[in-house]
Amino acid sequence: MGRIRCTVEGGFAVVRMDDGKVNAIESGWCAEFGATLDRVEADPGVTALLLFGRPGCFCAGLDRKLLPKLAPAELRATTQAFVSTMERVFLFPKPVLAGSAGHALAGGLMLYLASDLRFAVDDVDSRYGLPEVSQGIPLIGSTAAICTAAMAPVRHAELLLHGRQLKASEAFEWGLVHELAASREALEARALERAGALRGLELGAYRATKRALRAPLLEEARASTERILGDLPRGNPFSAPRRAP
């Protein structure tokens, strides 16, 4: 069984990420996920994409065990694949609904925030956060833009710069989560219900409006993205010792 599974249920593409661990992202994952997006986008019978993680973890972001071992060119390619994947989800021409029944951290939170409607199980153990800066890793321009688009400017410093981690209820209060659910089953049922309510959207107008709203944000950020990516061959920031939170 693959780590990314996609089934079509009632006109919705239901994508489940489950690698048995924390749904870590690397270049192979990006290729597999991209192929899934290709199929969903090309299927005229699919009106929305629903994205779920595994119990306890939506996604923990880039594979921190693998990244320190990569040569500079490999690191640059992996980083570019990740950035391109996040941008594609952010601009995806059909509604994207994400449901988290666990942690969404670092690149995993970026993936979550790139979605259009976000659901979470209301539990006290799950954490939502961006620890990159506190670990010595600069946030890439366009992925930072995706994150800042999902929250009020007053929240930017705490989440992006200071590495604050939120419980699900706090993430809801901050606007990162649109709806809370009491259980994973209730979360998935509600996401399907909301997807059904969006079925009547005219997708041509939806696609054009989403691009009009979001593409300028990415274009403005790409200059800094290219500058940071261009610096990566000079060293591997992921090889530095991890700092205590």
Residues 34-82: pLDDT tens digits? 999 999 999 999 999 999 999 999 999 999 899 889 998 898 899 999 9
241 domain-assigned: no
207 domain-assigned: no
Indicate which CATH number applies to the domain containing 112.
3.90.226.10
224 domain-assigned: no
* Count: domains in the chain: 1
Q: Which residues contact 175 (CB under 8 A, 6 or more apart)?
A: 150, 151, 152, 155
φ/ψ region of 11 (left if φ > 0, alpha if ψ in -120 to 50, else beta) reads: left
214 domain-assigned: no
Burial (CB count within 10 angstroms: exposed 0-12, middle 13-18, buried 19+), residue 3? middle
Tokens 């670092």 belong to which residue?
A: 106
What residues make up the domain containing 101? 4-197
Q: What is the pTM of this model?
A: 0.93
213 domain-assigned: no
- Length of the chain, please? 245
Active-site choice (9, 41, 87, 132):
132
**In the prediction, which pLDDT does 245 show?**
46
Residues of the chain with pLDDT under 70: 1, 225, 228-245
Q: Is 188 a catalytic site residue? A: no
**In the prediction, which pLDDT does 51 show?**
99
